[in-house]
């Protein structure tokens, strides 16, 4: 049973909502309650339930201030461009010992620390969308004034939706190009292989089942076996067999170089957005 002090999630959309789903799971207790905010009453109403106070800024201009009052952990999950305004809005209402953690891509810890009182710790996290099913991997970076206890508190929070990897902030944009964007790469590979299966004459439904189940099964086999992916691949690849021929074609395409270039493009864009 994980126990947390009061938590506020400002901007409970896709990612904030995923974090909320971890906190409301039966094996988690949030003492002092969970508070979430959104802009629209429609979204706020949908999240209201026992143990979750949900506020909308359109009906209550002080929604974010009400949410952070008494909160020991404050998760910032609005769009990156909205973070500076949001920080200025809540700065004076934050509890002096609270820990602020932002999931906003490209917004640096130093820029957030500069706006908030000295006593408030700031950390940065980069979860990914499998958080929705409790299978996220979250990159987490400590701030300049966060303590080891603050880091452990926030690590525990993101562990309610999956696995956490602690990295220095200098690596968080790079991490984002691997695991933040990673689900999109996997979906893209699934789309392409499904299209190939359809070209071979399988119905769209059968093609989708063949490919999606193969990705899921291979991932679960990898996780359960404890073997390296190269070893598991070797076990499917008999010398002179059919898989060996397919892998030879894939090797010629130099997927490593392709991934190097794709992630470099993502990293360049992260730096543009950060600037
Ligand atoms: N999605 C991902 O894969 C992912 C991964 C890692 C990090 N992130 C980060 O997560 C953050 C949110 O992304 P998202 O995809 O979850 O976006 P999203 O679904 O649009 O969620 C943002 C939420 O913020 C609410 N909001 C806007 N202004 C607000 C304000 N002033 N006060 C309170 N709530 C406000 C919006 O409410 P309304 O809709 O009612 O306006 C919306 O529900 C971004 O900074 C992004 O970089 C996302």
The best mutation among 79, 100, 101, 140 to test binding of ligand 1, ranked by most ligand atoms within 8 Å of the C-beta, falls on 79
Domain with CATH 1.10.3730.10 in the chain: 182-274
The CB of 105 under 6 Å from ligand 1? The reply is: yes
Q: Is 64 in the pocket of ligand 1 (CB under 6 A)?
A: yes
Distance in Å, CA 28 to ligand 1 centroid: 23
CATH of domain 2-169: 3.40.50.720
Q: Which ligand 1 atom lies nearest to the CA of residue 17?
A: 16
Is 11 a pocket residue for ligand 1 (Cβ < 6 Å)? yes
Q: What are phi and psi of 151, to 5 degrees?
A: -60, -45
**What percentage of the chain has pLDDT greater than the value 90?**
96
Predicted pLDDT at 274: 74
Summarize pLDDT for 83-139 with one digit per residue, the tens.
999 999 999 999 999 999 999 998 999 999 999 999 999 999 999 999 999 999 999
Which region holds residue 99: left if phi is over 0, alpha if psi is between -120 and 50, else beta? beta
> 14 C-alpha to center of ligand 1: Å?
6
Residue partners of 218: CB distance under 8 A and separation at least 6: 232
| Ligand 1 contacts CB of residue 180 (under 6 A) | yes
Q: What is the pLDDT of residues 183-239, one digit of tens each?
A: 999 999 999 999 999 999 999 999 999 999 999 999 999 999 999 999 999 999 999
What's domain 182-274's superfamily in CATH?
ProC C-terminal domain-like (1.10.3730.10)
Task: Tell me the pLDDT band of 263, cut-offs 50, 70 and 90.
Answer: very high
Instruction: Cite the residue boundaries of each domain of the chain with CATH code 3.40.50.720.
Output: 2-169
Best mutation site among 38, 43, 86, 93 for ligand 1 pocket (most ligand atoms within 8 Å of CB)? 38
**Using 50, 70 and 90 to split pLDDT, how confident is the model at 273?**
confident
Report the mean per-residue pLDDT for the chain: 96
Label residue 169 exposed, middle or buried (CB < 10 Å: 0-12, 13-18, 19+). middle
* Whether pLDDT at 275 is above 80: no
């Amino acid at each position: 049973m994980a126990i947390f002090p009061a938590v506020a999630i400002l901007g409970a959309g896709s990612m904030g909502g995923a974090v909320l789903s971890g906190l409301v799971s039966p094996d988690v207790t949030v003492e002092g309650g969970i508070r979430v905010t959104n802009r629209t009453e429609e979204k706020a109403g949908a999240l209201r339930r026992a143990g979750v106070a949900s506020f909308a800024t359109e009906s209550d201009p002080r929604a974010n201030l009400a949410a952070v009052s008494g909160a020991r952990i404050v998760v910032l999950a609005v769009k990156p461009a909205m973070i500076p305004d949001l920080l200025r809005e809540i700065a004076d209402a934050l509890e002096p010992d609270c820990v602020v953690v932002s999931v906003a891509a490209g917004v640096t810890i130093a820029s957030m620390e500069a706006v908030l009182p000295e006593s408030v710790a700031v950390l940065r996290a980069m979860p990914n969308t499998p958080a929705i099913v409790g299978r996220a991997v979250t990159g987490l970076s400590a701030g300049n004034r966060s303590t080891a206890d603050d880091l452990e508190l926030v690590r525990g929070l993101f562990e309610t939706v999956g696995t956490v990897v602690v990295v220095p902030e200098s690596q968080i944009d790079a991490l984002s190009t691997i695991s933040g964007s990673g689900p999109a790469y996997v979906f893209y590979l699934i789309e392409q292989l499904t299209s190939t299966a359809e070209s071979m004459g399988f119905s769209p439904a059968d093609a989708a089942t063949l490919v999606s189940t193969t990705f899921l099964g291979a991932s679960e086999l990898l996780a359960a076996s404890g073997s390296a992916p190269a070893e598991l691949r070797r076990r499917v690849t008999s010398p002179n067999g059919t898989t060996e021929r397919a892998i030879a074609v894939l090797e010629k395409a130099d997927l490593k170089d392709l991934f190097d270039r794709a992630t470099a493009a993502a990293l360049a864009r992260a730096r543009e957005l950060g600037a």
